[in-house]
């Protein structure tokens, strides 16, 4: 399977996987114990998946993304060098479109709850100020999926699914799209806003 195809499969999988460990809006996300943060939020998101559908699920996911992930930092990292080339208006539109498009995509992809559980393992404090929480997503059928959560302060800043960074994969995808559409951020913005509005 070509590398690009593998990357797309991993991203689809990661989108669904991430939702299993997102805290719901209003929950305390104090980073004093990142392992407890990751563990305790898994069941709450499973409850969202069990009880919400359609627009209600999408709205709940969007609220979770905005409240619990450092979307501005993740967006800047995903846009890479193009962030500096973008105007303030483009940056604002980009961050809004990314969150909305991701919420829509995850809501549609996640489907029904299929018995997944999350087991938290080792926690490592890094010298750069990040805490890495190792975990496994246990599925009703199939092998467990290895997840590494990067937590800074009270927010999740990246997730690696089987060693593949969500932020770096997005950066590669966004950069490729921009390069293939005239080298301007505006083309990516139009695509993301279109996805968000579908």
8 Å CB contact between 99 and 78: no
Residue 79 Cα distances to 7, 91, 106, angstroms:
17, 9, 20
Do residues 146 and 83 lie in contact, with contact meaning Cβ atoms separated by under 8 Å?
A: no
Per residue in 134-146, pLDDT (tens digit) is 999 888 888 899 9
Burial class (CB within 10 angstroms; exposed 0-12, middle 13-18, buried 19+) of 4: exposed
Q: Which domains does the chain carry?
A: 3-197 (3.10.450.710)
**26-83 per-position pLDDT tens digit:** 344 444 588 877 776 666 666 777 788 888 988 887 887 777 788 899 999 999 999 9
Query: Taking the model in full, what pTM does it have?
Result: 0.78
């Amino acid at each position: 399977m070509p590398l690009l195809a593998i990357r797309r499969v991993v991203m689809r999988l990661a989108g669904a996987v991430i939702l299993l460990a997102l805290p719901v809006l209003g929950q305390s996300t104090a980073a004093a114990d990142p392992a407890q943060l990751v563990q305790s939020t898994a069941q709450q998101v499973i409850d969202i998946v069990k009880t919400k559908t359609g627009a209600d699920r999408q709205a709940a996911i969007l609220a979770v993304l905005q409240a619990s992930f450092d979307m501005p930092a993740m967006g800047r990292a995903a846009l890479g060098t193009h962030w500096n080339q973008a105007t303030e208006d483009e940056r604002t539109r980009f961050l809004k479109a990314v969150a909305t498009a991701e919420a829509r995509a995850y809501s549609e992809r996640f489907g029904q709850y299929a018995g997944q559980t999350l087991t938290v393992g080792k926690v490592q404090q890094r010298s750069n100020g990040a805490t890495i929480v190792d975990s496994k997503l246990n599925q009703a059928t199939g092998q467990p999926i290895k997840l590494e959560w990067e937590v800074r302060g009270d927010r999740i800043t990246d997730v690696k699914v089987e060693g593949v960074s969500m932020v770096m994969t997005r950066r590669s995808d966004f950069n490729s799209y921009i390069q293939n559409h005239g080298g301007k951020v505006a083309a990516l913005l139009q695509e993301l806003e279109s996805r968000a509005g579908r």
